[in-house]
Amino acid sequence: MLSVVIPTQNSEEGLARTLVSLVPAAAEGVVREVVVADAGSSDGTRIVADAAGCSLVEISGGWLTRVGAGVHAARRTPWFLILTPNVVLEAHWYREAASFVERAERTGHADAHVGTFRIAYEEFGWRPRLAERVVGISGALLGRPLREQGLIISRRHLEALAARIPDRYAGHGDLVGRMSRAHIHRLRADAVVLPPSSGGRATPSLGRLLRITSSALGLPTPTGDWTEE
C-alpha cells in the first residue's frame, strides 16, 4: 500500500531508529518498500539502509529534490509516506494510514488530500508539552504540518506539486505551503521525535517555536523557513 521515502544526510542513528518503527507495518503488508534518498552521508547511513534491505538513492540537493528522487526510484505503490530520521511512529499507526488511503481512493480525493500525524517529543517537562501544544494549534489554524510529522501523499499529487517548485534546494515548507489547509488531515497516531543519544534536545528551539507561533497568528514571520531548523 505504501512506499516509504526517507531523505537522509549523516543520519545513521536516526535512520536506524525510524526503520524499527516500520517493521510491524511491513509485516502487515502496509509498507511495501523503503527508499533512502541520501545526500552524500559520510557516516554509516548507507550501511544501515543496506542492512535493513532499503533501496538507496544517492543525490545532492535540497529536501524536496531528495524526496523526488526517492519517489522516482519507488515502483511498487502509488502512495508514499515521507518521513524524517529520528522519528518513530506510534504503534498501530499503519492502520490509520491504511484507512486514510482507502478513504481517499474511494471518495476520489487521492490527487488532492494528504495525511499527517500528531507530534510528540520524547522528553519530560513543560517545554516539550508547550511545543506540542504550539504545533497542534498552529496546525489547526494553518493546516501546515512540520517535517517531523510525516506526509502520506499520492504519487500524482506529489509530482503535481513538485512540478510547480523549480528550486533544486526547496524544502518541506515549500511543498506544504502549496497545499490547501482543508486537504491536510491529521491522523490520531503520534510521530514521536527522539532526542539524539549524543546529547541535545528533541524539542524545537525557541526560535523555531517563535516562527511557528508568528505564522499561525498571521504576524510577520522571522527570517527562515518555519518548518526547518
Quick: pLDDT tens for 34-70: 999 999 899 999 999 999 999 999 998 889 999 999 9
What rounded mean pLDDT belongs to the chain?
Answer: 86
The pLDDT assigned to 217 comes to 53
Please choose, from the candidates 105, 138, 133, the residue with its C-alpha nearest in 3D space to the C-alpha of residue 120. Answer: 133
Distances (CA, A) of 171 to 22, 56, 135, 214: 24, 20, 18, 19
- Phi first, then psi, for residue 220 (nearest 5°) are -55, 130
Is residue 206 a part of any domain in this protein?
no
Is residue 159 a part of any domain in this protein?
yes
pLDDT digits (tens, 9 = 90+) for 150-160: 999 999 999 99
pLDDT beyond 60 at 222: no
The pLDDT assigned to 216 comes to 54
Q: What is the mean pLDDT of residues 111-126?
A: 90
- Stated as kind and residue range, the H or E segment containing 33 is strand 31-38
pLDDT level of residue 225 (50, 70, 90 thresholds): very low
* Pairwise CA distance, residues 46 & 31, whole Å: 20
pLDDT digits (tens, 9 = 90+) for 168-209: 788 888 888 888 888 999 999 999 998 876 667 777 677 777
What's the structural domain count of the chain? 1
Would the pTM of this model clear 0.75, i.e. be above it? yes
| C-alpha cell at position 123 | 522528553
20-24, 105-109, 120-124, 134-138: segment of lowest average pLDDT: 134-138
pLDDT digits (tens, 9 = 90+) for 2-22: 999 999 999 999 999 999 999
Please report, for the domain that includes residue 164, its CATH number.
Answer: 3.90.550.10
Is residue 205 a part of any domain in this protein?
no
Bridge pairing between strands 87-89 and 114-121: unpaired
Give the CA count within 13 Å in the CB-facing half-sphere of 124.
0
- Stated as kind and residue range, the H or E segment containing 174 is helix 172-176
| C-alpha cell at position 159 | 509530482
* Structural domain for 53, as ranges: 2-125+146-194
Is residue 216 a part of any domain in this protein?
no
Is residue 7 a part of any domain in this protein?
yes
pLDDT beyond 50 at 93: yes
Is residue 58 a part of any domain in this protein?
yes
